[in-house]
């Protein structure tokens, strides 16, 4: 049995095809978490994206200072 072009399955995903209750978990649209550093000043940046309570995408940047601890015996 052969399929013609109108019966072939499509692999494209369109936002307009989402149902109203499907919009709750849209984390797959977010960029992956990026870790940059530590640089020469021992600063490490973590950049991640989330959805806030209103459904807007927000960028969260966290900068931390890293230190190596040595234990003298």
Structure tokens at 15: 């936002």
Task: Kindly report the pTM of this predicted structure.
Answer: 0.56
What is the C-alpha separation between 42 and 63, in angstroms, rounded? 10
What is the C-alpha separation between 52 and 58, in angstroms, rounded? 7
Query: How high is the pLDDT of residue 52?
Result: 87
pLDDT tens column, 29-54 = 788 899 998 889 999 999 999 988 88
Half-sphere exposure of 9 (CA within 13 A, CB side): 1
């Amino acid at each position: 049995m052969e399929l013609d072009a109108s019966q072939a399955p499509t692999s494209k995903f369109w936002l307009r095809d989402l149902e109203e209750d499907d919009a709750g978990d849209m984390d797959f649209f977010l960029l992956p978490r990026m870790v940059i550093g530590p640089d020469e000043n021992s600063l490490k940046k973590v950049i991640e994206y989330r959805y806030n309570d209103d459904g807007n995408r927000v960028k969260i940047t966290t900068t931390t200072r890293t230190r190596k601890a040595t234990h003298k015996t």
